[in-house]
Amino acid sequence: MLLFNCNEHIYKIYSNQSFEDICSIAYKNEKAFCIVLVDSTQELSRRYCLNLKNKGFVDTSKAIYNIADVNISSNAWYMKWLCPLSLPLTCVFSDTGTLIDLIPGATKETFLYTTEAISDMKITNYHYPNRFKIPKYNAIHLLNQVLKCKMDLNRGMCESAK
């Protein structure tokens, strides 16, 4: 976990916490959360992390951040689930774990659109190129269905048992 002080806020940014743990923290605090997928061997991902720490682009009073390095085996499922074309990728979730938006990149615009998604709790117009070749809204809807199935399987539930 990274801690740093900026503009009278104490920023807590988690690192490589499980989806379930971050979702639980967000739910208890009634905050949205962002899981930022990074590749620690990639320059753009390192730049994202530096911008996150040094530029004060995020307000952790509104959302919880978790940096997930895709090179760590416990985070590999994100790559299988999202099939991203590039990293870093910011995944914005509601406090109940519903995927709201996917925002690629490490630019100032990335942080601005992330803030917008968190504030409005809805999908932004920021372009999300995807392997599914479907509009962003449809991709997020599909990904939420897949995530729900994954969480049900993790809890030992299956569709035939419902």
Count up the domains in the chain and report the number.
1
| Three-state SS annotation for the chain | CEEEEECCEEEEEEECCCHHHHHHHHHHHCCEEEEEEECCCCHHHHHHHHHHHHCCCCCCCCEEEEEEECCCHHHHHHHHHHCECCCCEEEEECCCCCEEEEEECCCHHHHHHHHHHHHHCCCCCCCCCECCCCCHHHHHHHHHHHHHHHHHHHCCCCHHHC
CATH code of residue 122: 3.40.30.10
pLDDT digits (tens, 9 = 90+) for 80-111: 999 999 999 999 999 999 999 999 999 889 99
* Owning domain of residue 98: 2-161
pLDDT at 31: 95
pTM flag (> 0.75)? yes
Average pLDDT, the chain: 89
